[in-house]
């Protein structure tokens, strides 16, 4: 990585190499100015290569967004215009007319080195040119461009500007294909609008997967037509006995559509065979003797199980997976498999083998938590590792065993990526079973070297889950996610990276969060006032 955070020479004094402001207008060096231009490398996640040049490019009332004849480039151009118009007050027409000026979006199939998600951003006096091989790359380029504009660009009312972008060239490709965030909508329900807001925030940091934990002991949150009581009974409550909620199929399609418009793929999770109290309460016939049982409103885990020896269990699993697969244009379907402590080891292996086969039957690639080690993994299966520093050698060996059978891993080490964990002991929100996760700790790992004996090629990517036992509101979710979400985003996108440098780029994002109305934790480990 050849990135330097103040590479454009537009930072302020105090750290070696910056402070030589180029003096191109009021944006230079104005510490409190809402229109201060970030330096070219001050982007999260860190770009692969940053070559700064002197000066800035300025967006003006005459700037056009040039997208050529491509509908895909036009969609990204319209998205960019939608972001920039409210704060700049500029018309920013999206046009197919070619020209050497303005913001130019180019899709070029010959740019093979940029891959499925990479891009190049070239900023000069005359223009800012974004080039990618695929639409996702152009979309990511737009996120970088946003971060290179003054933070006030994120506001939704007209701001004074000027709207400057540092000059130079960024070339950027991700380290990992899977860069995910998970929301547990089962412990507490989050509405379509709340999820959309989070999707927009994830997109800003180039997260490309949204994993929704849709079912758990406390609630079943997705309509299944063939088993309607899952929602009419199973969705009515939540942790603490609150009012619950669920997505209709149209709601869910809207989440999928919206996420796709931000180049995120939605991965639905239906957690089997444990974490199923809500399903068992909805359909007593899923219990061993057909007995009635209750939805759980506490936060304990590991007490519920589908009945592995009953045929109806597999009718249920087949119907649910079929209907969820139908709602899923993406590749992956997650079947949980964690903490099945109320299922015998033998039953677990039988159940997981059958459930994986159903996922394959409906054309999806199976994902499961790493307890999948207790069963035979299906060909192509992906396991999500959620261990932590204290995870036993035996459990780690199980994960190595999976990798030896060709399973790829999504890494979600709980003491780094779990956004539900407390930052400090004083925190009211959050859990701490894996320890405290201050912001510096959330960055303190390398996916390529994290698990001894797991080669980099076996790592599909990373994911930051938000479990919601203690979280009920958007403000709470954001407070837990920001800033730690950015650590995982960077570990997924960028190779390498040191905390002492990352923390400065992190601090540089705070003005943006404030402009966007994002609640965040002002960690003492981050020098908020120094940038
Ligand atoms: C565990 C558990 C979840 C909890 C979470 C809380 C996994 C994969 N299963 O993670 O049920 O909500 O911890 O941190």
CA of 512 to the centre of ligand 1 (A): 31
Residue 530 has pLDDT above 80, yes or no: no
Residues marked as catalytic: 339
477 in Cβ contact with 183 (< 8 Å): yes
Q: What is the pLDDT of residues 434-473, one digit of tens each?
A: 999 999 999 999 999 999 999 999 999 999 999 999 999 9
Mean pLDDT value of segment 100-121: 98
Nearest to 385 by CA among 324, 440, 434, 438: 434
pLDDT per residue as tens digits for the range 313-332: 999 999 999 999 999 999 99
Does residue 28 carry a pLDDT above 90? no
Pocket test of ligand 1: the residue of 272, 339, 342 to mutate, having most ligand atoms within 8 Å of its CB, is 339
For residue 433, the ligand 1 atom closest to its alpha carbon is 14
Chain segment 226-241, per-residue pLDDT in tens: 999 999 999 999 999 9
- C-alpha to C-alpha distance for 180 and 198, rounded to whole angstroms: 12
Q: How many angstroms does the Cα of residue 185 sit away from the middle of ligand 1?
A: 13
Residue recorded with tokens 């290179």: 148
Give the pLDDT band (50/70/90) at residue 35: low
Select from 185, 266, 209 the least CA-distant residue to 463: 209
- Measured from the Cα of 467, ligand 1's closest atom is 12
96 contacts 67 by C-beta, under 8 angstroms: yes
Per residue in 179-218, pLDDT (tens digit) is 999 999 999 999 999 999 999 999 999 999 999 999 999 9
Q: Helical H runs in 424-483?
A: 439-443, 474-481
Distance (Å) from CA 467 to ligand 1 centroid? 7
Write down the pLDDT at residue 350.
Answer: 98
Pocket test for ligand 1, best of 271, 338, 415 (most atoms within 8 A of CB): 338
Q: Whose CA is nearest to atom 4 of ligand 1?
A: 467
Alpha-carbon distances, residue 229 vs 126, 188, 219, 261, 291 (angstroms): 61, 19, 12, 32, 16
Domain with CATH 3.30.379.10 in the chain: 49-172
Mean pLDDT of the region 44-55 = 97
The C-alpha angle with vertex 125 and arms to 121 and 129, in degrees rounded to 5, equals 25
Sequence ranges of the chain with CATH classification 3.20.20.80 = 178-499
What integer pLDDT is reported at residue 529 of this predicted model?
A: 83
30 pLDDT more than 90: no
CA of 72 to the centre of ligand 1 (A): 38
- Cα 385 to ligand 1 centroid, rounded to whole Å: 11
**Residue 367, CA distances (Å) to 155, 178, 212, 218, 434 in order:** 38, 12, 12, 22, 23
* CA–CA separation, 171 and 42 (whole Å): 14
pLDDT at 29 over 90: no
Q: For 178-499, which CATH superfamily applies?
A: Glycosidases (3.20.20.80)
Nearest residue (by CA) to ligand 1, atom 3, is: 467
Q: What is the mean pLDDT of residues 484-491?
A: 98
Say yes or no to pLDDT of 11 above 50.
no
Report the nearest atom of ligand 1 relative to the CA of 187. Answer: 12
- The tens digit of pLDDT for each residue in 130-182 reads 999 999 999 999 999 999 999 999 999 999 999 999 999 999 999 999 999 99
Q: Measured from the CA of 434, which atom of ligand 1 is nearest?
A: 14
Backbone angles phi, psi at 266, to 5 degrees: -90, 130
pLDDT tens per residue, range 334-363 = 999 999 999 999 999 999 999 999 999 999
Cα four-point dihedral sign 361, 363, 369, 375: positive
Give residue 177's pLDDT. 98
Three-class secondary structure of residue 1 per DSSP: coil
Cα–Cα distance list, 180 to 74, 101, 127, 266, 490 (Å): 26, 36, 33, 9, 11
State the CATH class of domain 49-172. alpha beta
Q: Whose CA is nearest to atom 10 of ligand 1?
A: 386
Residue 8 has pLDDT above 60, yes or no: no
Does residue 461 come out as left (phi exceeding 0), alpha (psi in the -120 to 50 range) or beta?
left
The mean pLDDT of 422-438, rounded to a whole number, is 98
Ligand 1 lining (C-beta closer than 6 Å): 301, 338-339, 369, 386, 418, 420, 431, 467, 469
């Amino acid at each position: 990585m050849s990135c330097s955070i103040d590479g454009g020479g537009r930072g302020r004094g105090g750290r070696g190499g910056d402070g030589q402001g180029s003096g191109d207008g009021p944006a230079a060096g104005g510490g409190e100015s809402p229109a201060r231009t970030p330096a070219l490398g001050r982007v999260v996640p860190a770009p692969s290569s940053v070559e700064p040049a002197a000066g800035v490019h300025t967006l003006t009332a005459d700037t056009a967004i040039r997208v050529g004849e491509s509908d895909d480039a036009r969609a990204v151009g319209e998205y960019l215009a939608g972001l920039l118009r409210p704060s700049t007050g500029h018309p920013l027409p999206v046009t197919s007319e070619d020209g050497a000026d303005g913001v130019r979006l180019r899709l070029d199939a010959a740019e093979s080195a940029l891959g499925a998600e990479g891009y190049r951003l070239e900023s000069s006096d005359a223009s800012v040119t974004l080039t990618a091989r695929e639409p996702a790359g152009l979309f990511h380029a737009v996120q970088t461009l946003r971060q290179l504009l003054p933070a006030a660009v994120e506001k939704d009312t007209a701001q004074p500007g000027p709207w400057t972008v540092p000059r130079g060239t960024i070339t950027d490709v991700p380290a990992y294909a899977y860069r995910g965030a998970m929301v547990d909508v089962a412990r507490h329900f989050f509405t379509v609008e709340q999820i959309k807001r989070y999707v927009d925030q994830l997109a800003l940091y180039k997260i490309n997967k949204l994993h929704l934990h849709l079912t758990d002991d406390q609630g079943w949150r997705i309509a299944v037509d063939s088993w309607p009581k899952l929602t009419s009974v199973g969705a009515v409550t939540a942790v603490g006995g609150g009012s619950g909620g669920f997505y209709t199929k149209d709601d869910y399609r809207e989440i999928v559509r919206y996420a796709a418009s931000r180049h995120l793929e939605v991965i639905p999770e239906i957690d089997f065979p444990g974490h199923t109290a809500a399903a068992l309460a909805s359909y007593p016939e899923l219990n061993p003797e057909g007995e009635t049982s209750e939805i759980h409103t506490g936060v304990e885990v590991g007490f519920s199980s589908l009945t592995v020896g009953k045929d109806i269990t597999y009718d249920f699993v087949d119907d649910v997976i079929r209907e969820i697969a139908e709602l899923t244009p993406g590749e992956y379907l997650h079947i949980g498999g964690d903490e099945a402590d109320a299922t015998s080891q033998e039953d677990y292996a039988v159940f997981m083998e059958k459930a994986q086969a159903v996922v394959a039957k409906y054309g999806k690639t199976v994902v499961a938590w790493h307890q999948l080690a207790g069963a035979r993994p299906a060909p192509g299966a992906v396991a999500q590792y959620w261990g932590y520093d204290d995870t036993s050698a035996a459990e780690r060996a199980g994960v190595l065993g999976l990798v030896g059978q060709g399973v790829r891993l999504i890494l979600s080490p709980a003491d780094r990526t779990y956004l539900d964990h407390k930052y400090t002991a004083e925190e009211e929100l959050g859990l701490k079973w894996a320890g405290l996760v201050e912001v510096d700790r959330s960055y303190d790992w390398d996916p390529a070297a994290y698990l001894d004996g797991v080669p980099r090629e076996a790592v599909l990517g990373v994911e930051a889950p938000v479990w919601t036992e203690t979280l009920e509101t958007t403000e709470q979710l954001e407070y837990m996610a920001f800033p730690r979400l950015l650590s995982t985003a960077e570990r997924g996108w960028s190779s390498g990276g040191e905390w002492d440098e990352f923390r400065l780029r992190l601090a540089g994002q705070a003005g943006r969060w404030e402009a966007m109305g994002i609640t965040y934790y002002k960690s003492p480990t981050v020098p908020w006032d120094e940038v």
